[in-house]
Structure 1
């Protein structure tokens, strides 16, 4: 090699990313010992010399964190991304945010591109049906990466997972509807068979079984449009519903309004996530509340501790949820 070797040459020889080489040069605790040895061997082989003065000048700029979200159109995920970005910015880190649009192949490309551009860490709310190598490339890069709100990779020791206690949320919503006098409760929305759907539905199923009742599930897209359609697909004896998310519930609210059905009296309805719209529509929508702001700040703090101090977050964490009962399930105006 006639020119002076660069960090990119080291990365290519070692089979890692540029950001991994940078972490090794900074003696970061984030990099596994075998990866560190491979990088140092590559440096020796090609004669790379670390310019510490130049590196110190570069370090004056903010670090970079990659954030990949499965659906930024959903206000729940948008709020999470916003709070995470602002919390990291307060600590001097810039955030690159990308929407995978529930496309696993696109997600893998986005994650790979972020790694190539030298992000210090990744936070991913994964798309389903992923091809299998999205997180493998993160492992090869040797950078911190967290799964949030959804878990698609079982290796939580490598890629810690943080979410909410969704099962407890649907169980609490089911008990609430029973206490309001509901006789037949449905679970509406969410794609059948997906882990997140089964998780959000599990508490409902447990409470229905405990009461000796029959479940009624109606699966479909997590959208307002599906919620409107679901109004006409319910069994005639269903008098209450818990929705997979607030978008489905808001669609049902509109559908019932068109049919002249009074929520809280003729039918009782509970959403999930408690996005801002729930308190602004009429009638106001009851919902399982997830403190997405506090959750996002907690994820940011955990990621910062991992990047700066080498303290890995716990393999799995579930934040508590609450139920905000409003007119759509109680019939009482605020």
Structure 2
């Protein structure tokens, strides 16, 4: 058992060698449980230090055991990994999670959030779509439902809808500095739609470092997809502008650029250096392997789950904004072999 977290009912069940449902019956003082089983469960609780929170349990036995998770794009491995990690962490604490994909549609987001509110979710965790979202968050506020914005900020009322997201600004700074240290001088920023908060944050660190170094920015914003990255590589090659590296908005763009560079004959890691962003699992398996800004998205999923559970059970509202640390996963695409940098 991980000693850095509080024991759960699942840990009690494993320690006692019985089912989770039997442990639950003991905790609820069910008359259907034999006395020797009660003794076994109480002994296991004492040995692993499990403390039964009856108020929290009563809340979960009502409609408060359901968490709504709204994801803007489950096709993107970045968000899929987050959703999986969060759902599993919630399950460990005895909560069920209902998940909806909005496919980047604010209209669909409004619909699924409304449905979740009607079904009595006790909290909402939203990776929001961009667009007209004010009415959606107004409805949540009227319902008094604890709600986290995750990975993206679309509503500025962080006192009502706190944000947890990686430190995108530091990530793009570090990625750009790494490429400069690897010898790049004509570095492009590729991908991400203009005006969106995440794009602007990831672009800001890049611009800051280039300004410090007296280097000229080259911006190619657009859809954060493999197709855009592939076409961007072709365009850079056709322009013959001497671009020798790219900081990509995300790993999908970087994977697309990898394909595009292969098509035009650029050797990634020597002729052209690439840094992705997010460090999804696939980039380590690409060839050449892609360097990326590691956001530890699985860890963020666990952190978000624990934050919401603490909010519900102990009334500890999170701070308005939490930025999680990032690091660089350095691989073949940036010409430095493999490894990680803090």
Q: Same fold (TM over 0.5)?
A: yes
User: What is the aligned partner in structure 1 of residue 94 from structure 2?
Assistant: 92
Distance 1:136 1:190 in 2: 28
Which of 278, 281, 288 is the equivalent residue of 2:286? 281
User: What is the aligned partner in structure 1 of residue 151 from structure 2?
Assistant: 149
Q: Secondary structure at the match of 1:190?
A: coil
Which of 294, 297, 301 is the equivalent residue of 1:292? 297
Alpha-carbon displacement from aligned partner over 1:20-41 (angstroms, at most 9, x marks no partner): xxxxxxxxxxxxxxxxxxxxxx
Matching of residues 177-192 of structure 1 within 5 Å: 177-192=179-194
Runs of 4+ in 1 over 6 A off after TM superposition: none
Q: CA RMSD in A?
A: 1.7
Shift of the alpha carbon at 1:58?
8.7
**CA 1:119–1:331 in structure 2 vs 1: closer, same or farther (change >3 Å)?**
same
8 A contact 2:64–2:120 mirrored in 1: no
User: What is the aligned partner in structure 2 of residue 244 from structure 1?
Assistant: 249
Shift of the alpha carbon at 1:143?
1.1
User: What is the aligned partner in structure 2 of residue 200 from structure 1?
Assistant: 202
**CA 1:96–1:205 in structure 2 vs 1: closer, same or farther (change >3 Å)?**
same
Q: Number of residue pairs matched?
A: 280
Shift of the alpha carbon at 1:260?
1.9
Matching of residues 65-80 of structure 1 within 5 Å: 65-80=67-82
8 A contact 1:156–1:316 mirrored in 2: yes
User: What is the aligned partner in structure 1 of residue 106 from structure 2?
Assistant: 104
Shift of the alpha carbon at 1:178?
0.4
**TM-score, normalising length from structure 2?**
0.79
Q: Secondary structure at the match of 2:243?
A: coil
Which of 288, 305, 308 is the equivalent residue of 2:310? 305
Distance 1:225 1:57 in 2: 47
Distance 2:298 2:101 in 1: 19
Structure 1, unpaired ranges of 5+: 1-55
Q: Secondary structure at the match of 1:233?
A: helix
Shift of the alpha carbon at 1:131?
3.8
Distance 1:146 1:183 in 2: 40
Structure 2, unpaired ranges of 5+: 1-57
